[in-house]
Amino acid sequence: MLFSQVAIQLDSNDDVAIAKTEIARDTILQMPHGDALTIRDHIPVGHKFALHKIDCGAMVRRYGQPIGIATQTILPGDWVHTHNLTVGNITTTRAYRVVDAPRPEPARRTFLGYRRADGRVGTRNYIAVIASANCAANVAIHIARAFDANRLANFPNVDGVIPIVHSAGCSDVLGSLSHRHVQRTLANVARHPNIGAAIAVGLGCEENQIATCFDLTQMPGFVIQEQGGFRKTVDAGIRAVEELLPRVNACARTPQPISALTIALQCGGSDSWSGVTANPLVGSTMDKIIAQGGTAILAETPEIFGAEALLLNRVASAEVAHKLIARLDWWSEQARLLGFSVDNNHTPGNKVGGLTTILEKSLGAVAKGGSTPLMAVYEYAERIDARGLVFMDTPGNDPTSVTGELAGGCNLIVFTTGRGSLFGSHIAPCIKVASNSELFARMSDDMDFNAGKILEDVTMQMAAEELLEQIIAVASGARTKSEQHGTTEAEFVIWRHGATM
């Protein structure tokens, strides 16, 4: 059997190849250089096998980069996975290279968006009902749910009334990192470009008071304890939304340059193909958008360990490098203080999908960011004001990470997955990109784009053009699968760190 029919070697320096199909034990592969390789184990789809002998303690490479250390001698044709490969010591690099930022070319492409007074552009036009704390969540939900399609029929430019609810807002230490995250996230989401207007709802006795979190000169605020309880607050909130509807409806979609897109990048439920198809595809597409002045937000700090050099080798300034190194150092110190390993960040599903170490996962994940210079580094939920490729410090947990990016102002999300994910957001549309065709077919009701075609008969360039067209369509109002299902409300999760009092 020809090697090229069943496997792929990503880099000429790699010690391993990736199985494109299941390969049975004792299969003989005819290698490109003419030799034969006998497969010594059953190799599942997406998993690795050795191309030559690897000594115990030797570095193992994929993508041309180290992904771990062999824990035993690995023979040619052996399955390479958790039983014989470990991450070794994770160290972060301090070297960086400052590069010139390319001058964006004129935006050639446009989408139909909602231009706001501050110049930012929404891909959706919502009225938001924001709970200051979990104890106001039910009121916020009931206010929003009062506005169904029938009630909004006379307001065609309003895409919906959405509740923004969460489990935070009280029992955090005042001034703590968790408390700052809550306040920053909610305050910045209230002025998100996809939100045409908002109202705030609080209980009254919570730590996160609406008067200290929101600018109530710009939005109505309701305190349940002062309003007289659940029903009275719901009724007051409904009246407030009714008053906002004509103003929000007055903003219609108009042609906007692609430079107005700020795209959150996320990967979840990754497999071995994520770093081969979906993530590089997204990176190639982001390069096209950034070239025309757009912005892409790379995040998930624990998922760049071992791949940070790919970003530090192309920073726009020394300040950007120092900020990224500081965030990596913070996570390393947290791991030391709390007794966990950064390598624990890849999940059982990642391992079933062929990923063995966090280094392997990180090298694939960073590919989402494309190849342009890193222009800025932000802390969690800070408002994004730079253009081009930027980085936000977030956990790797998908809902928590995307919530920070939403607070930063992303007006669209591109989410890659190899195992499958139902993630959706009710603030910004989420395009889910499947890394392989089998997943796309099996979860066709949930996947928006099939990157698996890159392993078949479609070039990366062709797929990137196709994904760009889908991004423009969704930004202009086309509904994603998660929007069609309504699986969007429960995944607004603010990063909480430290004690709950």
Q: Cα–Cα distance between 393 and 390 in angstroms, integer?
A: 10
Q: What is the pLDDT of residues 266-296, one digit of tens each?
A: 999 999 999 999 999 999 999 999 999 999 9
Considering the entire predicted model, what is its pTM?
0.94
User: Residue 126 carries which DSSP code?
Assistant: E
For range 11-26, the mean pLDDT: 95
Structure confidence at residue 487 (pLDDT): 65
Q: How far apart are CA 187 and CA 452, in angstroms?
A: 39
Name the pLDDT band for 501 (thresholds 50, 70, 90).
Answer: low
315-364 residue pLDDT tens: 999 999 999 999 999 998 998 888 887 765 567 888 888 999 888 999 99
In DSSP terms, 319 is beta-bridged to none
pLDDT, position 306: 87
- pLDDT averaged over every residue in the chain: 94
Q: What is the pLDDT of residues 193-244, one digit of tens each?
A: 999 999 999 999 999 999 999 999 899 999 999 999 999 999 999 999 999 9
What is the C-alpha separation between 243 and 248, in angstroms, rounded? 10
Q: Which residues pair with 128 in a beta bridge?
A: 162, 198
CA angle, 486 as apex, 259 and 255 as ends, to 5°? Answer: 25
What DSSP state is assigned to residue 345? G
**CATH assignment of 3-86, given 2.40.50.140, 2.20.25.10, 2.30.130.110, 3.30.310.10?**
2.30.130.110
pLDDT confidence band for 90 (50 / 70 / 90): low
User: What pLDDT is attached to residue 343?
Assistant: 65
Q: In what order do the strands lie in the sheet with 121-122?
A: 121-122, 110-115, 254-257
CATH of domain 121-254: 3.40.50
> Where does 176-282 show beta strands of DSSP type E?
195-202, 221-223, 254-257, 262-267
Domain ranges of the chain: 3-86, 121-254, 255-485
